[in-house]
Homo-oligomer: A and B are copies of this chain.
Amino acid sequence: MNKEQAIEILSKNQATLAALNHAVSILYIDGETIAPPGSAQKRAVTLGELSRMAYDLVTDREAVAALEYLYGVREELDPVTRRNVSELWRDLDDTRKIPKEEAAEYSMLLAEASAVWHEAKVKSDYALFAPWLEKVFDGAKRRAAYLDPTRDPYDVTMDQFERGLTSEKCDAFFAELRGRIAPLIAKVGDAEQVDDSPILALYSIEEQRKISDFAMDFLGLDRRYCVLGETEHPFMANVDKHDVRIHTHYYAENFLWSLYSVVHEGGHALYELHVGDELTGTSLAGGCSMSIHESQSRFFENYIGRSRAFTDRFYDFLLDAYPSRIGIVSKDEFYRMVNKAEPSLIRTEADELTYSMHVMIRYDLERRIFDGSLCVADLPREWNRLYGEYLGIDVPDDRRGVLQDSHWSNANIGYFPSYALGSAYGAQYLAEMKKEFDPFAAAASGDLSPVRNWLEKKIWRHGRMMDPTDLFRSVCGEFRPSVYADYLEEKFTALYNL
């Protein structure tokens, strides 16, 4: 075998695998959006079969021999091929550690668990979901043990979403953050409160759909390759850079919820839409890690989307599109309403200040389930207790409590810390951008291209060419949570006249 032959064998194998992955993505999106509720079982069987086919492709003798050959000569390869080969080698190693049937059955389990979670959330019926959740957690623990029996299983699980992240790092980050945020939340609680009730229900769902168009245009999302759908729990999913889907959920009682879901998922979408063309068809063509991904979505949602520059522009749009309605409040009041900080039940609807507390609660619970000190049956009780401890609020039902997130039914366990990390990264992006240009002037002008171009150059186009910590360091130097805490302190001190 020579290099060219090996590359050809591997490319062919990867092209077939890409077709299977494409099918899996669309089946997943279909299941989360428009599929009939009674179709979950068949979809589960199909995903199990496709998982077996993918296993056979990844472990195909000829493809493995080609990969092995290329891995041996990796120093002679161009940078993209070298990184691709290294990543595929790593993936192959992981794939081989987990028995084929275990992987197939886990795919099947998740497809069904997701459908059960949808039903359980609507009915606020934790008992319906619990047996499935137990199986999902058990499966995740078994996978961690297969992947690396020598390490802490929760660290192994986190590593799947964020290479290099450990409980030790999370503990240090969360301790610092909570130490700064908790007193700030208390101070805001003692200050004069903001009443946003006059504006929340001003726009019908049909009107909110037009507001979504405004948000997508503001972000600069290319509609040829990015569409908006509707679902229970907002998410972004993509096939490649030419097929990106964002999904939102409209609520008649609060038009801001969907708006900020669209901006958040739109941030994820921008990332995928701008991965470098030279990575197309490789394993590198996608977001680097979940914290880097969430740092994009949270950046557009909060640093840009909840800035005065954006809220003023949005206010003007609303006044123009639906004359007089938003005029019942001033631009200043609107900015304060959009940024109202208050302990609340739902993570995705939380303000910037209290958001990370929601993440810490989930991190705490997941770790204890993983180390065996908490069982799935006790999850709602502990969830509710922690919402009291961290945020001082009572959880009225499981729908707005332990059943609120889709993550666990999809085995996204060890994923939540990425949201807090990503939120914190944004403060350092902002500081770096300000050295070169004014991102808020861009937002105010309605032309975000300076922001997009900066992120594209520094982050988006690189796909998975670097590990997440290296990528972040290349953009901002060392990670300093204090920059995030400073940002929050400054913003909310001004907003609440603390």
Q: Which residues of B contact A43 (CB under 8 A)?
A: 22, 243
Q: Is the CB of B23 within 8 A of A225?
A: no
Q: Which residues of B contact A30 (CB under 8 A)?
A: 26, 29-30
Tell which of A11-19, A188-196, A336-344, A393-401 binds the partner: A11-19
Tell which of A34-42, A94-102, A423-431 binds the partner: A34-42
Q: For the complex, is A457 an interface residue (Cβ under 8 Å from B)? A: no
Q: For the complex, is A49 an interface residue (Cβ under 8 Å from B)? A: yes
User: How many copies of this chain sit in the oligomeric assembly?
Assistant: 2
Q: Is the CB of A34 within 8 A of B34?
A: yes
Q: Which residues of B contact A240 (CB under 8 A)?
A: 42
The verdict on A22 contacting B36 (CB below 8 Å), with A53-B16, A242-B41 known, is no
| A200 to B249 CA separation, bound complex (whole angstroms) | 32
Q: Which residues of B contact A33 (CB under 8 A)?
A: 34
**A319 CB to nearest chain B CB (Å):** 25
Interface residues of A in 209-250 (CB under 8 A from B): 222-227, 229, 239-240, 242-245
The verdict on A50 contacting B36 (CB below 8 Å), with A206-B206, A239-B42 known, is no
| A221 to B24 CA separation, bound complex (whole angstroms) | 28
| A226 to B239 CA separation, bound complex (whole angstroms) | 26
Q: Is the CB of A23 within 8 A of B38?
A: no
Q: Which residues of B contact A206 (CB under 8 A)?
A: 206
Contact with B along A366-409 (1 / 0, CB 8 A): 00000000000000000000000000000000000000000000
Q: For the complex, is A59 an interface residue (Cβ under 8 Å from B)? A: no
Interface residues of A in 237-280 (CB under 8 A from B): 239-240, 242-245
Say whether chain A's binding surface is mostly helix, strand, loop, or mixed. Answer: helix
| A45 to B52 CA separation, bound complex (whole angstroms) | 21
Q: Is the CB of A46 within 8 A of B34?
A: no
| A15 to B49 CA separation, bound complex (whole angstroms) | 8
Q: Is the CB of A225 within 8 A of B15?
A: no
**A406 CB to nearest chain B CB (Å):** 19
| A185 to B159 CA separation, bound complex (whole angstroms) | 72
Interchain CB contact (< 8 A) of A39 among B15, B16, B243: B243
The 10 closest A-B pairs by CB, nearest first: A19-B49, A39-B243, A23-B23, A38-B224, A19-B46, A22-B46, A38-B225, A36-B227, A36-B225, A38-B242
A-B contact pairs, 7 of them (CB 8 A): A16-B52, A18-B46, A23-B23, A23-B27, A33-B34, A35-B243, A42-B242
Task: List 8 additional contacts besides A16-B49, A19-B50, A37-B224; criterion CB under 8 Å.
Answer: A19-B53, A29-B30, A33-B34, A37-B223, A38-B222, A38-B225, A39-B239, A42-B243
